[in-house]
Amino acid sequence: MGEKKNITLIIYQYSVIVKGLERKLKDLGYDVFTIVSDFGHIKASAIKTDLYILYLPKLVQNDESQNDALEYICNEVWGTGVKMFVIGESGDHRYLCSQHAILECYDWFDRPLNMERFTNSVKKAMTEPIIADGRKRILLVDDDMTYAEMIRGWLKDYYRVYIVTAGMNAISFLIRNRADLILLDYEMPVVNGAQVLQMLRQEPATRDIPVIFLTGVGSRENVEQVLALKPDGYVLKNTTRENLLEILNNKLKDKFFNH
């Protein structure tokens, strides 16, 4: 038999349901360590952790201190390079992602848990590389989550794809995380793609990241407006999977092998 795998369960407080989850994970054959509220131990635990599972309390979005803790937890786990699953209320997911951009990077499971799906996902995570692999990282910025998830599905076998759904969330994400290329929706509310590109080009840490605009309008006038901003390219949203992959492969090849 191979070496026993370890799971670290991160919780705000104990409950009957949490204890049941611990038992289930142990029954699957994993060693389970639990961090209760003292989240400063997360990084130290990474050396013995193959997977983190964060169990969120109800109404976390309504509690400022719990929200602050969520941001801290996500960033601490991200810094370890270890995968994390997040369990929470289905109604909280979209709102929490809008407040914590990095939360988009973790697999989310609605309560009540579909235990078969969850345990299968845990088993799969334990058989895949845990530390981030050598695939290039693409940040996809689009307020249409359905479209964004489709694009991630197209790319996930070739790239590590992270999604944020607003322009300022992209800035927040890039303050803490690296991206090799950004796919940026040109038409977004509040802070549009042009404004995001301008902010990226003003910062030394992000000015050299290739940015490819996604646009749903293919008229000559619209394309000229997009190109006037001097992005590293643009892609119409009705493009095919094969065409998008070719564009990304060529752009990343240019960046990493011709410079």
- The tens place of each residue's pLDDT in the chain, 259 residues long, gives 457 789 999 999 999 999 999 999 999 999 999 999 999 989 888 888 989 999 999 888 788 899 889 989 988 887 676 889 999 998 888 888 878 877 877 899 999 999 999 999 999 888 764 444 557 889 999 988 889 889 988 998 888 888 888 888 888 788 767 789 999 998 888 888 888 998 998 888 898 899 999 988 756 776 677 677 788 888 999 999 999 999 998 888 766 544 4
Structure confidence at residue 51 (pLDDT): 92
Instruction: Check residue 129 and give its pLDDT.
Output: 45
Residue 53, pLDDT score: 97
| pTM for the model | 0.56
Q: Please check whether residue 173 is in contact with residue 101, taking contact to mean a CB–CB distance below 8 angstroms.
A: yes
Alpha helices in the chain (DSSP H): 16-27, 42-45, 64-80, 90-99, 115-127, 145-155, 167-176, 193-202, 220-228, 241-257
pLDDT of residue 132: 45
The pairing of strands 181-185 and 211-215 is parallel
Give the per-residue pLDDT at 256.
52
Helix 115-127 to helix 16-27 angle, to the nearest 10 degrees?
Answer: 50
